[in-house]
């Protein structure tokens, strides 16, 4: 099965560009994510991290 796929892919012109594009998308996404993590405000991180606890507290109060 792999030989069939490999043989078929070798006949396509420019097939080597697809892995390069995929790598670039992967790399850019994680670099943006890395940048956002280090530039996000501490207040926002604290607020978002407390959201699950607030929901739990509201459910307990309703019971």
- Place 53 in a pLDDT band, splitting at 50, 70 and 90: confident
Q: Residue length, the chain?
A: 63
Dihedral, CA atoms, 40, 42, 43, 49, nearest 10 degrees? 90
Residue carrying structure tokens 């790598």: 23
Q: Is the pLDDT of residue 1 over 60?
A: yes
Task: Confirm whether pTM is higher than 0.75.
Answer: no
Calpha distance 40→32 (Å, rounded): 12
Q: How far is CA 2 from CA 6, 9, 41, 44, in A?
A: 6, 10, 49, 49
Higher pLDDT, 61 or 48: 48
Q: What is the pLDDT of residues 11-52, one digit of tens each?
A: 878 878 888 999 999 999 999 999 999 998 999 888 888 887
């Amino acid at each position: 099965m792999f030989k069939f796929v490999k043989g078929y892919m070798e006949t396509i012109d420019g097939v080597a560009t697809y892995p390069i594009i995929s790598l670039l998308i992967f790399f850019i996404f994680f670099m943006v994510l890395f940048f956002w993590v280090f530039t996000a405000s501490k207040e926002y991180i604290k607020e978002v991290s407390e959201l699950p606890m607030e929901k739990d507290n509201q459910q307990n109060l309703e019971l």
